[in-house]
Structure 1
Amino acid sequence: MSDAPALPKTMRAAVLRTPDVSEFTIERIPVPQPRAGEVLLKVEACGVCHSDLHVARGEIAFPRPAVLGHELSGTVVCLGEGVKDYDIGDRVVGGFIMPCTECANCLAGRDDLCSVFFENNRVHGALFDGESRLVDAEGERLNMYSAGGFAEYAVIPVSALARVADELELASAAVLGCAGMTAYSAVSRGAGDVEGSTVCIIAVGGVGLSITQVVAGLGARQIIAVDVSEEKLELARKLGATSTVNARECDVIKTVKEISGGGVNFSFEALGLPSTLGQAVRVLGEGGRAVAVGLAAGDAEVTIPITNFVRRGQELIGSFGARTRVDLPAVQRLAAEGGFSVENLVTDSYALDEINQAYTDLAQGNISGRAILRIA
C-alpha cells in the first residue's frame, strides 16, 4: 500500500441550493472523511446525466441543499475503517447504485433494488447510516445524491466500486458508473443471451449508445438504432449499429420490421416516453422481449396490443440501474477488452465551473453522446 497523500482541508463543489433554482453554485466546502467500509476519492470526472437534470429542475424530488453527481471516476486517497480490498492510489469507477450488501434484496443479488440505499440516499440524501458526509462552509448539512460527485473529493462505499484497467482513460471511464453498467444490466439481466440475435435500440443518447456497444460486444448479429438525431445515429453506427432509422422520416415500426425480416428478438427503449415504449413492443418478432430502460415523467402509461402480445408470446420487462457488484466490474472488463469504448462514448467535456453550461447543453439536445465534467 502506498502512503496516503496530504489532503487539503477544503474543496470546490457544485451545490444545488434552493428548491426554485435549478442552477448550481460553486462553493468551497470541507473535504469529507470516509467512515467504516468507505473510501475517499479524488474525483477525476463525473458524468453529465439526465437524472441530475431532473433533480435540478425539481422533476425528481430530492432534499436541498445538495451535491449531485452520481457517475464518477477517481483515485482512492483515503481508506475508512476496515477497508482491505482497496489501496491508496487505486484507480476506480463508482456506481450510482451503492448497495448496502445486507438487506434482503442485496443478499438475493439484487443490488438494483437495495432498500437501504433507496431509502437513505434517494429519499434523505444520506449514506447507509442515515448521515451525509458533506457540510458547507458554515457547517450546515449538504445532502448527497449517490456519492455527490460534483466535487473535487467524494466519499463512497466500497460496495459501489470497481477498479479501472490501466488501458482505460480514467476520466472517460466515469461513464461506466451509470450509462455503462445500466446498459450492461439491461442486456445481461433484462434481455439475456443476445449472441446471434436481432436487436433494436430506441433512443440512442448516452444509455442507448451504451446498449448499442454492449449488444455488439456480446455478439448480436443485427443492431438497429432508432433516433430523431442524425448526429446520434452516426455515432451509433460508429459504436456498432448495423442499421439506423430516423424516426422523423419514416414509420419506425414498419421500417424496423422490414429491416429485421418480421421483427426483432430484443428491443430496448432508453427514453421513457409512452410512444417510444409502445414502439419497442410493436417492433418485436415472435417470442421477442422488450426491455424498458428509460424513466418517464410522472405517472405516464403505455398501451400495448394485448391479443398480438399474448398470441406471439412476447415479453416486456423493466430494467433500472444495475446489480452494481456484478455488472460494474463486468462492463469495466468489457471496456478493457475493447468491447466498450468509453472514449468514443464521451463526446463532450466541461470543467466543474462550466456545469451550468453543460446542463443547458444537455437540456437543449446539444450533446450527441455522453458528456463529463473533468474535475481533477
Structure 2
Amino acid sequence: MADTMAAAVWTGAGNPLQVERIPVPQPKQGEALVRVLSCGVCHTDLHVMKGEVAFPSPAVLGHEISGTVVALGPDTAPARGVDVGATVVGAFIMPCGECRQCERGRDDMCLPFFAMNRLNGTLYDGTTRLFREDGSPLAMYSMAGLAEYSVVPMNALAPLREEVPVEAAAILGCAAFTAYGAVHQTAALQRGETVAVVATGGVGSSIVQLARAAGAQTVIAVDIDDEKLAAAQKLGAHHVVNSKSTDAVAAVRELTGGAGVDVAFEVLGRQQTFEQTVKMLTDGGRMVAVGIAAGTSTANVEITPLVRRGQRLMGSFGGRTREDLPAVIDLAATGVFSVEDTVTRTYPLASVGKAFDALARGEIQGRAVISMAT
C-alpha cells in the first residue's frame, strides 16, 4: 500500500473540490481502514460545499462508500462479519455504540456523532485521521469517503453480500439507508397504505422502491422532471405527477379519491415542497421530512388542520446503523432494492467536480457514484 492517496479536498464555501495527494490515514482502536472502491454523490455534500450546512474546512467530504477492509486499528477485534479482506458498505451515521442514544438503539441520534463529527469534523477521540503532507489537518465529513482510503468506525460498517455489485453498493450507505429509516422506522409504513414521495432523486427514488416493497397500496411520485418521474415509475411508482405543470396537491388528492395519502415523504428540504407535502395528507396522515434544508430555512404549516385532523409531522435523518444497514444490504441482495437501476452515472475521482456540478443542475436521475477504480 502506498504512503499517499488521492482525495477530493474542499477548501470552503463556493470553492470547487480539488484532488490532492495526502497521506493514507491510519485507524485507531475501534476503527477500520477501508480501500474505497466507490462513493456516492449526495445533495448533503453539495449543501456543505455551498455553505448551506455549516462544516469546518478544509475537509474531505463523501459519506456513503463501498470498499475492502485492509486493516483494523490496534486492539480491534473483527465484529459482525467485518474483518481484514471483507467487502463492506459504510453508512453515513457512524454510531459510537456507547452513548445514551446508542444504548437504547437510536444509532440515528448518536450524541458524539453529531457533536464531534457533524460539528467539528473529527472522530470520537476529538481528532481527525486526515492530514495534508505538511501536517495540517483536514476535517472528515462522516468517513470522508471521496478518497482512495477511508478510516471508518467499526459500528458504521457491514459486510456486503456477493449478490450486490460492489461499485453501485456505495449508495446503500446513505440513499437506501436514509430511505429505509424513513419508511420503516419513522413512518412505520403499513401494508395497504397510500404514499406520496415529493422529489425523486437518490433518496426519493429509494423511498419509492422501499414503500412499494413494504406493501403500499399506492405510491405517487412527485417531481418537476419528466425523466426522473419516468425512472421513478420504472422503480415502482404507481402514478407520477409533474409539479411544474400540475397542481401537485390537487393531483395527489384526485389520485386518492379526494382523501389524500396516509404518508407523504418530502425529500428536497425546500419551503415550497415542505408546505406542499403537508397538504397532501389524509386525516390522521403522517408527513415525514427527509430532505436537508439550506441554512435556517423554515416552512409555514396551517395549525388548525394539523390539530383537528390528527396529522403528524416527523423528521427522519437516517436509519439505525447496526440494525438497518445489514437489512438494506439484504434487500439489495434479494432484488427488492435495485442498486443497478438507482445508480445512473459513474464518474472517476478526477471528475468529482463535474459530478457535483451535474447534481447542482438537477441532471442526475437517481444517484451518481465516484469510482476510485476508474
TM-score, normalising length: structure 1: 0.96
Alignment partner for residue 4 of structure 2, among 4, 10, 15?
A: 10
Q: Is the Cα–Cα contact under 8 Å of residues 38 and 83 in structure 1 kept in the other structure?
A: no
Query: Could you tell me which residue of structure 1 aligns to residue 124 of structure 2?
Result: 128
Query: Could you tell me which residue of structure 1 aligns to residue 38 of structure 2?
Result: 45
Query: Could you tell me which residue of structure 1 aligns to residue 320 of structure 2?
Result: 323
Partner Cα distance (1:340, 1:186) in 2:
15
Deviation string, structure 1 residues 243-294 (Cα, Å, up to 9, x no partner): 0000012111111011012211111000111221112111111211111111
Amino acid at match of 2:295: G
Please tell me the root mean square deviation across aligned C-alpha atoms, in Å: 1.2
1:269-308 equivalent positions in 2, closer than 5 A: 269-308=266-305
Partner Cα distance (1:68, 1:303) in 2:
32
Q: Is the Cα–Cα contact under 8 Å of residues 187 and 194 in structure 1 kept in the other structure?
A: no
Q: Does residue 68 of structure 2 align to residue 68 of structure 1? A: no
1:81-160 equivalent positions in 2, closer than 5 A: 81-85=75-79, 86-160=82-156
Partner Cα distance (2:16, 2:101) in 1:
35
1:207-218 equivalent positions in 2, closer than 5 A: 207-218=203-214
Q: Percent identity?
A: 52
Partner Cα distance (2:305, 2:47) in 1:
35
Partner Cα distance (2:83, 2:306) in 1:
52
1:128-277 equivalent positions in 2, closer than 5 A: 128-261=124-257, 262-277=259-274
Q: Does residue 325 of structure 2 align to residue 332 of structure 1? A: no
Q: CA deviation at 1:75?
A: 0.6
Partner Cα distance (1:341, 1:219) in 2:
17
Q: CA deviation at 1:163?
A: 1.2
- SS state of the match for residue 77, structure 1? strand
- SS state of the match for residue 319, structure 2? coil
Q: Is the Cα–Cα contact under 8 Å of residues 44 and 292 in structure 2 kept in the other structure?
A: no
Partner Cα distance (1:175, 1:28) in 2:
25
Q: Which moved more, 1:149-158 or 1:193-202?
A: 193-202
Partner Cα distance (1:193, 1:212) in 2:
12
Partner Cα distance (1:158, 1:217) in 2:
29
Q: Is the Cα–Cα contact under 8 Å of residues 36 and 148 in structure 2 kept in the other structure?
A: yes
Size of the alignment, in residue pairs?
369
Partner Cα distance (2:184, 2:344) in 1:
26
1:342-357 equivalent positions in 2, closer than 5 A: 342-357=339-354
Q: Is the Cα–Cα contact under 8 Å of residues 69 and 147 in structure 1 kept in the other structure?
A: yes
Q: Which moved more, 1:124-133 or 1:20-29?
A: 20-29
- SS state of the match for residue 28, structure 2? coil
Deviation string, structure 1 residues 293-335 (Cα, Å, up to 9, x no partner): 1122222222223222222221111111221112211111111
Q: CA deviation at 1:359?
A: 0.8
Amino acid at match of 2:360: A
- SS state of the match for residue 28, structure 1? strand
Query: Could you tell me which residue of structure 2 aligns to residue 4 of structure 1?
Result: none
Partner Cα distance (2:144, 2:173) in 1:
13
Partner Cα distance (1:275, 1:33) in 2:
45
Partner Cα distance (2:187, 2:177) in 1:
14
Amino acid at match of 2:43: H
Q: CA deviation at 1:345?
A: 0.4
Q: Is the Cα–Cα contact under 8 Å of residues 47 and 294 in structure 2 kept in the other structure?
A: no
Q: Is the Cα–Cα contact under 8 Å of residues 183 and 208 in structure 1 kept in the other structure?
A: yes
> What are the ranges of 5 or more consecutive residues in structure 2 without an aligned counterpart?
none
TM-score, normalising length: structure 2: 0.96
Amino acid at match of 1:319: S
> What are the ranges of 5 or more consecutive residues in structure 1 without an aligned counterpart?
1-6
Amino acid at match of 1:318: G
Q: Which moved more, 1:126-135 or 1:275-284?
A: 275-284
- SS state of the match for residue 220, structure 1? coil
Q: Is the Cα–Cα contact under 8 Å of residues 97 and 324 in structure 1 kept in the other structure?
A: yes
Q: Does residue 365 of structure 2 align to residue 368 of structure 1? A: yes
Q: CA deviation at 1:83?
A: 2.3
